[in-house]
Amino acid sequence: MEGRYPLTMAEDQGTELSELESGLLSWLVESDFHIQPWSTSKAAKAFKVKEDEIYEAVAALTRKVPQRIQVFYKNGALHIAAD
């Protein structure tokens, strides 16, 4: 995948993604949360963590890999797009 970052490497070369962040980013890339509304509770169940950990991981991804994730509000719901 030339021109794309591995899922474990942050854009800031000194900051690696945690296992949860890497897994969540991969899941977001494969999902359609840019079309379907995002559900933190469903993500927490899928990763077997607390909702707060999902919120923290999404926030960390927006700092660590801002060119790969977009969080936006549309039609009364949160949406997340990632590549």
Q: Is residue 11 part of a domain?
A: no
Backbone φ and ψ of 30, nearest 5°: -85, -10
- How far apart (Å, rounded) are the C-alpha atoms in residues 76 and 83? 23
18 Cβ contact partners less than 8 Å away, ≥ 6 residues apart = 57, 60
pLDDT at 79: 93
Q: Read off the tokens for 57.
A: 């991981």
- How far apart (Å, rounded) are the C-alpha atoms in residues 65 and 18? 12
Q: Is residue 26 part of a domain?
A: yes
Q: Is residue 9 part of a domain?
A: no
- How far apart (Å, rounded) are the C-alpha atoms in residues 82 and 69? 4
Q: Is residue 29 part of a domain?
A: yes
Number of domains in the chain: 1
Q: Is residue 48 part of a domain?
A: yes
Question: 22: which DSSP letter?
Answer: H
**Domain containing residue 77:** 19-82
Q: Is residue 2 part of a domain?
A: no
Q: What is the pLDDT along the chain (83 residues), one digit of tens a residue?
A: 334 555 555 555 557 999 999 999 999 999 999 899 999 999 999 999 999 999 999 999 999 999 999 999 999 999 999 99
CATH number at residue 24: 1.10.10.10
